[in-house]
Structure 1
């Protein structure tokens, strides 16, 4: 049965990845194109003002600049096939992990149908794995951020994701125990409150990153980040609904077979 759930999870992840790609293409790529254009304009302006730089009087400065390296992958391929490949593979991987998490929590959250369990799990995963880390370290479009800090920014983001996931798992386990004593509603509220408090303390202790140039258009930044959130909303919503639909029939049939036996 575990293998069957894994296959269904990866299939649901693939469906979610395709739909998330379509959303990202239509709503996210325009802001990416704008940011890339701004980056090119800034670099061109810097090159044009080079004559005012004292270093321009250096004989070495008059040597011909090396030819620009040819793009291995064109922007057109990146925004279509590359985007579909990246988001699609991400969706398949997340779908596989989602099926494992579902197999662990199914039946442990009370008497809930597979569709409901999958929907609740997808909603919780969206908040813990994406939304909370995003609020601390939001995504930035091209031309935003310093090249020398890419490694540290990446480490901080994924470290915060892991921390949020760990606190979320502990809160869920604690809430399940409280539910037996105080009821599902009170237990869930206390566990959720504990998660919020702990993750808020962690976010306050971790360093903040603000590398957005003052001249960068706020509308472009807002559109890009809104599209990033929307892409993840589509991914997790479709994943939860698709996996619930694909798994419910199999789990229901298995339950009926056990009763007949």
Structure 2
């Protein structure tokens, strides 16, 4: 059964990746082109020689972007299915759709939103090439803290559920998550390497587009996977008990 869920998750992830690519192509790539134009103008004004282009811009914005998004989305879809197989029936009493939607929301918050609030995505020409290693390391530290905090939050909510009820347990655990994340964001260094004359409007639009790509991906993944699994489970329940495959 887990193998079937994995396959479904990867297929839904592939479909979500296609939609995310369309969003990136329409809303993200124009901002990248504007950032590249700013970078080239800055280099020209400084009398610097343009670096040779290893991969053409049309290839980057077309096949390269499509490949990257599809590989990422398919991988996320597979991992999503595995986590669903482990958490279904254990974390909450929700059905397949509710569990998938809740899992997608949690994944988006922990993997995308929280790290992005501290270290948001930057377009080309923003960021010092000499600090890319340290910036990447800080981003992954924030990512690990976010995922660990969410995992601990779920465990805390489950322990408090019986004593304080679902509503109070969720509030307490959610407050604990916010406190841990706030401390981590305060403790980790802030990075600001935006050029002085860089367009604030362009920076804002790029970051919104980057976040929007993930919103599309996780929304389609949560809703689509939940719908497919619910239909699959409904078919299994119609079979004799001895013919139903086990989830785990």
TM-score (norm 2): 0.94
How do 1:102-141 residues align onto structure 2 when only pairs under 5 Å count? 102-141=84-123
2-structure distance, mates of 1:258, 1:6: 24
Q: Return the match for 2:151 from 153, 169, 189.
A: 169
2-structure distance, mates of 1:259, 1:180: 31
Partner of 2:227: 245
Partner of 2:9: 9
TM-score (norm 1): 0.89
How do 1:94-105 residues align onto structure 2 when only pairs under 5 Å count? 94-105=76-87
* 1:198 matched to 2:180: yes
Partner of 1:32: 32
Q: Return the match for 1:147 from 121, 125, 129.
A: 129
2-structure distance, mates of 1:114, 1:171: 21
Q: Return the match for 1:223 from 205, 211, 217.
A: 205
Q: Return the match for 2:55 from 70, 73, 84.
A: 73
Deviation at 1:72, TM superposition (A): 3.2
Partner of 1:47: 47
2-structure distance, mates of 1:259, 1:136: 50
SS at match of 1:213: coil
Query: Aligned-pair RMSD on alpha carbons?
Result: 1.6
Deviation at 1:80, TM superposition (A): 1.1
* 1:92 matched to 2:62: no
Listed one character per residue, the Cα deviations across residues 152-177 of structure 1 (whole Å, up to 9, x for unaligned) are: 10111012111100110010111012
Which of the pair has more CA radius of gyration?
A: 1
- Gaps of at least 5 residues in structure 1 are 49-64
* Contact in 1 for aligned 2:35/2:125 (Cα 8 Å): yes
